[in-house]
Amino acid sequence: MSLLETSFPEPLTTVRVLEYRDHSLFTKMDYVATEEPLEIRVIHGSYDAPVTSKVALSMRTPGNDFELALGFLYSEGVIRSRDDVERVSYCTDPNEPQRFNIVNVRLKVGVKFDPSNLSRNVFTSSACGVCGKATLENLKTVCPTKPLGEITLNPSFIASLSEKLKLSQRFFLRTGGVHASALFEQDGSLLLIREDVGRHNAMDKLIGSLLLEKKLPASNKLVMVSGRASFELVQKAILAGIPVLVAVGAPSSLAVELAQEYNLTLIGFLRDDKFNVYSGFERIAQ
């Protein structure tokens, strides 16, 4: 597969701010997380008559855009492995002012793609991801098997992940304005971390990286997210074969239901040496 990632907008933007501190006002330069649109296009069909379909528009932090596109398409069931993709590139049309905010994914000839199967709204904000398609029935079609996770996690080990995540969030430490998804080994070693203004984007970037390295499914690993545990984040973890999802925030009822259905260990409210386990209790050492 060919990857042509050249240049893109910077992930950090410098702004002039007025800071109030110690009963005084100061002018200084500060960093904020860049937020720009990314349009994902799928090119499919024959070489003689290719078809281009616009499948998603996401507000994201620039960087790892190809991973984001591939992770999204994997989570949607459009692609099942790296071998389904022939080429990923930015739009190179000089007449397109947003060409570095457009990613083209060229599927290999023979890979079936039906745009009508993407029943979700194609717009996604950085806050909540695309919504509407995710149901237990659809997920069972795309992912009929449960994640493999024959591991036992010590509660003190789980509690230590919060600090490890904080220290690894490079962009968050500079801006305070991005989410993170981090993949850990069961011994606590950090394998991979991705950051983005959107928590779903951060997870897609992480999954896209694993797909590119042909490391899916990610069995016997655990993923930690900096926000709440939504249905979609649980769904993405299951599709990636990750058996444990740890979240700083709360899970939703549907996230818990889905985790129970697929025997994923779902942990929420990990803060200050405290956490709740909502499913997959057998992986927690008693």
Residue 107 near residue 87, CB atoms below 8 Å:
no
Which alpha helices (DSSP H) does the chain contain, by range?
Answer: 65-75, 136-142, 155-168, 170-175, 199-212, 231-239, 253-261
Catalytic residue among 91, 128, 131, 143: 128
The contacts found for 280-286 with CB under 8 angstroms, 24 or more apart, are: 280/149, 280/243, 280/244, 283/149, 283/151, 283/152, 283/153, 283/243, 283/244, 284/152, 284/153, 284/155, 284/158, 285/152, 285/153, 285/154, 285/155
206 marked as part of a ligand binding site: no
Half-sphere exposure at residue 154, Cβ-oriented, CA atoms within 13 angstroms: 5
41 marked as part of a ligand binding site: no
Q: Which of 57, 58, 66, 46 is nearest to 2 (CA)?
A: 66
274 marked as part of a ligand binding site: yes
| Residue 128 falls in the annotated catalytic set | yes
271 marked as part of a ligand binding site: yes
Orientation angle between helical segments 199-212 and 231-239, nearest 10 degrees: 0
84 marked as part of a ligand binding site: no
60 marked as part of a ligand binding site: no
The contacts found for 249-253 with CB under 8 angstroms, 24 or more apart, are: 251/278, 252/228
Dihedral over Cα of 57, 61, 62, 66: its sign: negative
Region for residue 180 given its phi and psi (left: phi exceeds 0; alpha: psi -120 to 50; beta: otherwise): beta
Residues making up the annotated binding site are 269-274
Catalytic residues, which ones? 128
